[in-house]
């Protein structure tokens, strides 16, 4: 989209927010499937801002790897929902399977069977009853390679799905799968699909037609607490409370989701009272600080932070691209880690709001305690760094920079993508490292190349980047999953680091079904990664959410939590 078009879209969005009535006028009947709010329920429209207009409202649309955007929770329901403590709670089902019982059986060879009993009277947004045959059909879709999801979890672990009756679903698994009891949360959802709307289009010769059906875009029918009633391209999505929602009608009658791509525009809307809630990435730290300062005297609302993005430094381990070879020496990597001033970087890039990182998962994660036990913590200590470098054979020349007697001066490139706080972080890191004897060449990757997988994977030295603070990121750096020229730069890992012990631990972590056992394995994974300095963790970026005082219900929680997990319970005064 061109800049001029973005401005037009932004202007239209602001006009809609400012000029549209907060609730239907006397002459406007509620849309089909909605009704006036019951006594004690809000009839106001809650206005929620997201940064980008979505391509879909589905949780697992075809050929999308990371389409599970948090706001899609409004329109969808899963087997379970992950609460603010990262604990799965039954949602569509009556209860979650329990390990080693009739509803979760494990065979000696690792194969499993889980059985789910669904609540009665579940219906799609168009009023059609949902049955377990909708899940059987969904499995046919997700397991078809041409749809593009068959190699993603949980589908890559499922062997078959059957429906003994309209409310009972049986899933047979090829191997142990720890999330088999709930399959909820980012990147692991197994949502049902409306068979009555899609089955006719799902034929071997018609896959392209199927994946391009309007259902996936602006004609979405789901099971969630809110039902889409209008979608104004470039402006907003209007939704109403779904009367037949499985746990009861939501308390807020109507929701309008507006698209605001500019953070300062979002700030103005919040301060003007035109937006009640900002979703992740709508605001930056700078805007959040301004809102808190302005709201303080008049208690206009609150700002909470989520922490689900890891920020750190990846190191090049592919021999064909690694320069200098000194990066292959763990002592040099440790010396670099001991001269990173994380507190200074946090203050410069995040106004001090970030959480310090040692490994991929934050203290707010359900695995936070395990990470804290296992991770090697590199705190700023130039004396330790200097001693390590001398042990590795380096001395400082007259100019104060490290030199090796045979390899010469140690020079390392430090790169990042343009935009955001990356350039500031690179400048701060380079300054500190050079003060401590490391010669650093700074490089900023232009936006046009930032999404090019080969450019992203072939950097020579160090690269400052962002990754998701999830289990999926933690289990990614294993052989066969590293992008490189031989596999045409395809693979699920952003880092080229691997380690045989880590690979073994990943296998144990993904196969174990006992939470305490998994926690211990993850603790060991954190130990191996940090001891070998597979990367240098900086912080978990704060993702601020602004919530006006009149909106009650959203609350901060574990990093695995979707802020909308209990949206049906939110209230707007």
- On the question of pLDDT at 536 being above 90, the answer is yes
Element (H, E) at 42: strand 42-50
pLDDT at 338 over 70: yes
Identify whether residues 144 and 213 lie together within a single domain.
yes
Confidence of residue 420 (pLDDT cuts 50, 70, 90): confident
Domain boundary, last residue among 180, 195, 224: 224
Q: Which residues pair with 468 in a beta bridge?
A: 309
Residue 311: pLDDT band (50, 70, 90) is very high
Instruction: List residues bridging with 241 in a β-sheet.
Output: 226
**Which of 294-303, 440-449, 522-531 tops mean pLDDT?**
522-531
CA-CA distance, 564 to 569, in Å (whole number)? 10
Backbone angles phi, psi at 271, to 5 degrees: -65, -25
Range of the domain at 380: 309-540
Query: What number is the average pLDDT over the span 306-313?
Result: 95
Q: Can you give the pLDDT at residue 42?
A: 45
Coil/strand/helix, residue 89 = strand
Between 437 and 185, name the one with better pLDDT.
Answer: 437
Average per-residue pLDDT for the chain: 90
512 plus 562 within the same structural domain = no
298 — pLDDT class (breaks 50, 70, 90): confident
Q: Which of 183, 176, 164 is nearest to 113 (CA)?
A: 176
Say whether both 458 and 469 belong to one domain.
yes
- 453: pLDDT strictly greater than 90: no
Query: Quick check: 361 pLDDT over 70?
Result: yes
Given the structure tokens 């690979």, which residue do they identify? 503
Q: What is the pLDDT of residues 239-269, one digit of tens each?
A: 999 999 999 999 999 999 999 999 999 999 9
> Does residue 469 sit in the same domain as residue 572?
no
Residue 104: which CATH number? 3.90.76.10
Q: Domain of 560: which CATH number?
A: 3.40.190.10
Max CA pair span of the chain: 85
Least confident of 16-25, 234-243, 559-568: 16-25
> Domain check: are 398 and 287 in the same one?
no
Residue 14 lies in a domain: yes
CA-nearest of 437, 49, 476 to 271 is 49
Q: Is residue 32 part of a domain?
A: no
Within a domain: residue 525?
yes
Domain count for the chain, please give it.
Answer: 3
Q: How confident is the model at residue 325 (pLDDT cuts 50, 70, 90)?
A: very high
Q: In this structure, is residue 30 part of a structural domain? A: no
Phi-psi region at 282: left, alpha or beta (left = phi > 0; alpha = psi -120 to 50)? alpha
Do 317 and 295 fall into the same domain? no
481 with 571, same domain?
no
The answer to whether residues 221 and 126 touch, using CB atoms and an 8 Å cutoff, is yes
How many Cα neighbours within 13 Å face the side chain of 551?
Answer: 28
Q: How far apart are CA 283 and CA 286, in angstroms?
A: 8
pLDDT bucket at 65, cuts 50 / 70 / 90: low
Q: Once rounded to an integer, what is the mean pLDDT over residues 71-78?
A: 95
Q: What span, in angstroms and rounded, lies between the C-alpha atoms of 118 and 171? A: 14
DSSP for 175-189 reads S--TTTTT--STT--
Q: Is residue 481 part of a domain?
A: yes
Using CA atoms, how far apart are residues 337 and 462, in angstroms rounded to an integer?
12
> Do 549 and 534 lie in a common domain?
no
282 and 351 belong to one structural domain: no
- In sequence order, the 6+-apart residues with CB closer than 8 A to the CB of 505 are 521, 524, 525, 528
pLDDT computed for residue 23 by the predictor: 33
What is the phi/psi pair of residue 481, to 5°? -115, 10
Domain end marker among 205, 224, 243: 224
pLDDT at 537: 98
On whether residue 33 sits in a domain, the answer given is: no
Per-residue pLDDT, 66: 54
Identity of the highest mean pLDDT range in 21-35, 66-80, 205-219: 205-219
Q: Is the pLDDT of residue 27 over 50?
A: no
Give the total residue count for the chain: 573
Instruction: Pick the range with the lowest mean pLDDT from 15-19, 255-259, 322-326, 368-372.
Output: 15-19
- CATH of residue 458: 3.10.105.10
What's the pLDDT score for residue 16? 36
Query: Same domain for 435 and 372?
Result: yes
Per-residue pLDDT tens digits for 466-513: 999 999 999 999 999 999 999 999 888 999 999 999 999 999 999 999
CB within 8 Å of 105: residues ≥ 6 apart = 112, 113, 114
What is the mean pLDDT of the segment spanning 429-453? 92
pLDDT at 34: 41
Q: Are residues 362 and 242 in the same domain?
A: no
pLDDT attached to residue 50: 96
Residue 474 and residue 412 in one domain = yes
**Average pLDDT rounded to a whole number, residues 274-295:** 94
Please report whether residue 551 resides in a domain. Answer: yes
Q: What is the pLDDT of residues 145-179, one digit of tens each?
A: 999 999 899 999 999 999 999 999 999 999 999 99
Please give the average per-residue pLDDT across 421-425, as a whole number.
Answer: 88
Is 498 part of any domain? yes
Q: 182, 200, 224 — which closes off a domain?
A: 224
Q: Determine what percent of the chain is predicted with pLDDT higher than 90.
A: 83
Please determine, for residue 9, whether its predicted confidence score (pLDDT) is greater than 80. Answer: no
Which of 20-34, 193-207, 483-497 has maximum average pLDDT?
193-207
Confidence of residue 33 (pLDDT cuts 50, 70, 90): very low
């Amino acid at each position: 989209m061109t800049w001029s078009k973005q401005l037009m879209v932004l202007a239209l969005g602001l006009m809609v927010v400012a000029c549209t009535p907060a609730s239907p006028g006397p002459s406007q009947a509620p849309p089909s499937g909605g009704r006036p709010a019951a006594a004690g329920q809000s009839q106001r429209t809650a206005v929620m801002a997201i940064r980008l207009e979505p391509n879909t409202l589905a949780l697992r649309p075809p050929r999308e790897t990371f389409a599970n955007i948090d706001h899609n929770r409004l329109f969808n329901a899963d087997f379970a929902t992950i609460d603010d403590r990262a604990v799965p709670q039954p949602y569509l089902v009556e209860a979650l399977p329990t390990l080693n019982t009739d509803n979760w059986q494990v065979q000696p060879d690792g194969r499993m069977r889980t059985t789910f009993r669904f609540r009665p009277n579940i219906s799609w947004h168009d009023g059609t009853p949902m049955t377990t045959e909708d899940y059987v059909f969904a499995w046919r879709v997700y397991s078809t390679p041409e749809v593009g999801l068959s190699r993603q979890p949980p589908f890559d672990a499922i062997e078959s799905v059957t429906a003994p009756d309209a409310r009972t679903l049986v899933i047979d698994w090829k191997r142990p799968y720890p999330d088999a009891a709930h399959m909820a949360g980012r990147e692991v959802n197994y949502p049902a699909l409306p068979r009555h709307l899609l089955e006719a289009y799902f034929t071997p010769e018609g896959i392209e037609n199927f994946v391009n059906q309007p259902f996936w875009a602006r004609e979405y029918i789901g099971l969630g607490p809110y039902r889409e009633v209008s979608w104004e391209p470039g402006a907003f999505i209007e939704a109403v409370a779904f009367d037949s929602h499985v746990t009861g009608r939501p308390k807020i009658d109507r929701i309008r989701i507006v698209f605001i791509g500019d953070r300062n525009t979002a700030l103005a809307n919040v301060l003007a009272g035109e937006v009640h809630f900002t979703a992740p990435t709508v605001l930056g730290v700078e805007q959040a600080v301004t809102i808190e300062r302005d709201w303080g005297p008049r208690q206009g609302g609150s700002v909470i932070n989520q922490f689900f993005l890891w920020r750190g430094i990846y190191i090049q381990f592919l021999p064909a691209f690694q320069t200098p070879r000194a990066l292959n020496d763990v002592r040099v990597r440790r010396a670099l880690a001991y001269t990173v001033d994380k507190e200074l970087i946090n203050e410069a890039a995040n106004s001090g709001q970030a959480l310090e990182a040692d490994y991929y998962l934050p203290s707010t994660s359900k695995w936070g305690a395990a990470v804290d036990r296992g991770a090697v913590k590199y705190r700023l200590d130039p004396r330790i760094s200097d001693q390590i470098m001398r042990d590795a054979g380096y001395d400082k020349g007259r100019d104060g920079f490290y030199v090796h007697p045979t390899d010469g001066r140690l020079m390392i490139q430090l790169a990042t993508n343009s935009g955001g706080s990356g350039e500031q972080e690179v400048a701060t890191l380079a300054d500190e490292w050079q003060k401590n004897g490391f010669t650093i060449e700074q490089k900023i990757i232009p936006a046009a190349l930032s999404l090019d997988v080969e450019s992203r994977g072939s950097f020579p030295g160090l690269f400052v980047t962002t990754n998701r603070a999830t289990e999926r990121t933690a289990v990614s750096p294993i052989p066969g999953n590293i992008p490189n020229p031989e596999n045409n730069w395809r693979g699920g890992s952003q880092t080229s680091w691997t380690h045989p012990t880590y690979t073994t631990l990943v296998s144990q972590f993904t196969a174990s079904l006992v939470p305490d056992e998994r926690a211990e394995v993850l603790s060991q994974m954190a130990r191996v990664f940090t001891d070998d300095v597979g990367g240098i963790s900086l912080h978990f970026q704060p993702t601020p959410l602004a919530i006006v005082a009149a909106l009650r219900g959203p609350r901060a929680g574990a990093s695995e939590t979707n802020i909308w997990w209990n949206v049906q319970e939110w209230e707007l005064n």
